[in-house]
Amino acid sequence: MQKTLDYLRELKINNSKDWFLDHMNEYEEARTELNDLAFLVLEQLALFDPLLNDEVDVSRFISNLVIIKPKKSGPYHTHFSISISPLANDGNEPLYDIHIDPEQSYISIKYDPDIFGIQVMRNFITKNADQFREILEDTFSDGFELNESSVLSALPKGYQPGVPGEQFIKLQRYEIRCPVDLLKDQGELVRDITASFRAVLPMLNFMRRGLGLA
C-alpha cells in the first residue's frame, strides 16, 4: 500500500483541483491497490462469515469504496475507506471497515444507525447489557478499542439513569477500532486484517442479531 499512502500524503500537501487532475495516474494506481485489497479481504471474510457469499457476486458486497470524493466546495478527502457488508436491511447494518490514512490507518467493525436503527440497537443492548459488555471486553483483548467520539452528554429521551448498559446507550454510533500496518506485504496484510476481523465476529453478530439480521 506504499503507493496509496504516498499519494495521500502528497494530496494532503497539495490539496487542489489542479494537482489532483495532474496526478490522475497516481490516483488510478491507488484505486487499483484499494480494489485489490478489498477483494482479497472479502474473499477471506467469506470463508467464515456466511452472509458474505463470494459465490454469488463479490462486487455487490463492497458497499462503500470511497476514492477521493471532493465536496462541492472545500478540499479533497485525504483518506480512503473500504466498507464491506452483505447490503442487507437497505444498508442499515453493521459492517467491516478499513480506514486508510497516512497518519493513522485502522480497521473497524462499525454501525452508523438511522433513527430507527439506533432505537432498536439501544433497546437490544439494555436487554443484553452483560453480554454486550463481555463481548466488548473480549475485543479489547484482541487489540480493539471502543470509539466514544459520538457519546452524548446525557441519556437520550426515554432512558432513566441506572438503565442496564447506560454508558453504551449514550453512544450515537457503535464502532470498535484496531490499528493496522499497511506497509506489510499484501499477503501478510490480508491475513492480519481478516484474522482481526474474525476475532471480533461476535461483536458484529451481536449487532446483527439486534437488528434481526442473524
Query: What pTM, to 2 d.p., does this model score?
Result: 0.90
The C-alpha atoms of residue 151 and residue 148 are separated, in whole angstroms, by: 6
How many Cα atoms sit within 13 Å of 146 on the Cβ side? 17
pLDDT one-digit tens code per residue, 18-43: 898 899 999 889 888 888 898 899 98
DSSP reduced 3-state for 179: strand
In this predicted structure, the answer to whether residue 72 has a pLDDT above a threshold of 70 is no
Looking at per-residue confidence, does 57 or 110 come out higher? Answer: 110
* Grid coordinates of 148: 466514544
Q: Are 80 and 34 in contact (CB under 8 A)?
A: yes
In this predicted structure, the answer to whether residue 56 has a pLDDT above a threshold of 70 is no
pLDDT one-digit tens code per residue, 100-141: 999 999 999 999 999 999 999 999 999 999 999 999 999 999
Residue 71: per-residue pLDDT: 58
Q: 129-141 vs 201-210: helix axis angle to the nearest 10?
A: 160
Looking at per-residue confidence, does 83 or 53 come out higher? Answer: 83
* Grid coordinates of 56: 454469488
DSSP reduced 3-state for 134: helix
Residue 160: per-residue pLDDT: 93
* Grid coordinates of 39: 477483494
How large a percentage of the chain has pLDDT more than 70? 90
Mean per-residue pLDDT over the chain, rounded: 89
pLDDT one-digit tens code per residue, 138-152: 999 999 999 999 999
Residue 59: per-residue pLDDT: 53
Mean pLDDT of 80-108: 89
Q: Which residue range(s) make up the domain with 171?
A: 2-210
* Grid coordinates of 204: 458484529
The number of folded domains in the chain is 1
In this predicted structure, the answer to whether residue 188 has a pLDDT above a threshold of 80 is yes
* Matching residue, cell 465476529: 201
* Matching residue, cell 502528497: 10
Bridge partners (DSSP) listed for residue 82: 65, 98
